[in-house]
Structure 1
Amino acid sequence: MRIFPRLLVLATVALLAGCGADEPESAAAGGPIAVKATDTGCEVARTSVDAGTSVFAITNGGQKVTEFYVYAPGDRVMAEVENIAPGLSRNLHVELPAGTYETACKPGMIGKGIRGALTVSGSAAPLTDDAALLAATDSYSRYVKSQTAALEEKTGEFVTAVKAGDVAKAKALFPVARTYWERIEPVAEIFGDLDPRIDGREEVTEEGLTFGGFHRIEKDLWEGGDVSNSGPIADQLMTDVKEIVQKANAEKLSPLQLANGAKALLDEVASGKITGEEDRYSHTDLWDFNANIEGSKAAIASLRPVLDERDPELVKTLDTEFANVDAALAEHRAGDGWKLHTALTQADLKKLSDAINALAEPISQVAAVVAKKA
């Protein structure tokens, strides 16, 4: 989930069309909370809000790509918006019960961020008091459970191959196991350091973390071709995956987390898969790309009965743009999998990026529709 300096230009171009305009403002009491993010500051207009749905309107006035988080105690992520390029603005809808929280801007998208206190007081009926929204979260929870079961199974097969020294089998299983991770990544990101421990790139060392997980083994497999010393890393990966599966299956999600997650998955494509930054050793980015699209589609499918009722025209647009992305991606099928990222031309990547940007705009409107009172 990180953009690094050598990739900023391409990533920024990829994001411009999808993130320059955002969803309509919410009717939340008091209106959107302005956040002025810079490379050295994070000025949040209000530090206390009423319980219920709040909207943060983040503007990046710095020179670095930034992101904005709302944390509960223990750095549990309540909501986030990533990849806000310099000069651009994004809105973040979040449902918060009474309690103490922290806001954080992360210039350069690294580290603990520039933090501030946020107090939420009072009470409000949760969005899931709406039967249709409760049904949506229940539907998505079933999807998460199906994907985490497959993630645990396939990661186990991958770890077994690594520990057996079977490089060819481990290489074949690497993008397959990661498919299930990438489909539910916004849920996994809720749980603090577990996400970078499982999926962090080598740059996590800049945040004081150890480089391990999928991408450390990926490096051993493709760059060194030797996994004789990778057993402990594989064991830790399996331990972390089991922990995150348990937590993800127990998590009670807000409808806004589904809406925000659908958008976050598209941002993941724009920031990492398009550039080839994520799977930099194996170049299997398109497996991840497709999984992110599938995960976004699953979140929207869970919300579809609500969207059909509240904004049928938006649903038609989403259907069209999802179909366009699927068609653009299908051109790069290779057997049961996908072409390597290195096999795509700049024209191919631009076509995919354009399709993603066209989908990102209507996806960005979903949270505001969900937040409206029925």
Structure 2
Amino acid sequence: MSTTARSALLATTGLAIAVAAATGCAQKSGASGDGAIKVAASDTACEPSKTEFPAGKATIEVENKGAKVTELYLLFPDGRIVAERENIGPGTKASITAEIKAGDYEFACKPGMKGDGIRTKVKATGKGGEKRSPELDAAVAAYRAYAQEQADETLPKAQAFADAVKAGDVEAAKKAYAV
């Protein structure tokens, strides 16, 4: 891919991601929606306002009523993460917006941000889901490919630097640093 084509792709992808991020931020900071799933997290409980809700775009609002910093996860039955919010301080609230397909899930509140957390089973029902934008999906896919390519190129270089430092080879580390 030529430099010009790559620059154009990156600019288009960046614009699409910026628009999506701005939309996501607006949703996170907005007032409570009528259909929001509220989760009261404490040091000993993880209590959602609903254990059954419609599939589709969902807003999950968590309030940490405990004394410890906590995390909230929405998990598939096999433990994979659907959505998460970390570092929710005592007495604070946070919001997550996620696209949730019909099925069984669990909320996991992790007081102290440790362990498996306090879990509560929930269920998303119906068909739900909004029509996706092929343009935004393509932009996200292009950005993922770009980010993976950059990581694939960077990791071996970072490993060479780390290996030189561990071996005490200052000259090799200097040469490998910020290639």
TM-score after normalising by structure 2: 0.71
Q: Is the 8 A contact 2:162 2:173 kept in 1?
A: no
Q: Is the 8 A contact 1:25 1:31 kept in 2?
A: no
Give the 3 Å change call, closer, same or farther, for CA 166–142 of structure 1 in structure 2: same
Match for residue 123 of structure 1? 127
Q: Is the 8 A contact 1:60 1:88 kept in 2?
A: yes
Match for residue 23 of structure 1? 29
Q: Is the 8 A contact 2:51 2:123 kept in 1?
A: yes
Offset, 1:75: 1.9
Match for residue 139 of structure 1? 142
Whole-Å Cα distance in 2 between the matches of residues 155 and 170 of structure 1?
12
Q: Are residues 1:50 and 2:54 paired?
A: yes
State which of 102, 106, 109 in structure 2 corresponds to 1:98: 102
Give the 3 Å change call, closer, same or farther, for CA 86–166 of structure 1 in structure 2: same
AA aligned to 2:90 is P
Give the 3 Å change call, closer, same or farther, for CA 167–100 of structure 1 in structure 2: farther
Normalized per residue, which structure has more helix?
Answer: 1
Whole-Å Cα distance in 2 between the matches of residues 115 and 173 of structure 1?
49
State which of 163, 166, 188 in structure 1 corresponds to 2:168: 166
Match for residue 198 of structure 1? none
Offset, 1:136: 3.4
Question: Unaligned regions of 5+ residues in structure 2, if any?
Answer: 1-27
Whole-Å Cα distance in 2 between the matches of residues 119 and 106 of structure 1?
20
Offset, 1:138: 1.9
Question: Unaligned regions of 5+ residues in structure 1, if any?
Answer: 1-21, 177-335, 337-374
Q: Is the 8 A contact 1:36 1:44 kept in 2?
A: yes
Larger radius of gyration: 2
Q: Is the 8 A contact 1:154 1:173 kept in 2?
A: no
SS at match of 1:120: strand
Q: Deviations over 1:31-86 (max 9, x none)?
A: 11111111111111111222211111101111111111111133211111111111
Q: Deviations over 1:124-173 (max 9, x none)?
A: 3455x22343133223312321232134323442464367x235478769
Whole-Å Cα distance in 2 between the matches of residues 169 and 44 of structure 1?
56
Match for residue 116 of structure 2? 112
AA aligned to 1:111 is G
Normalized per residue, which structure has more strand?
Answer: 2
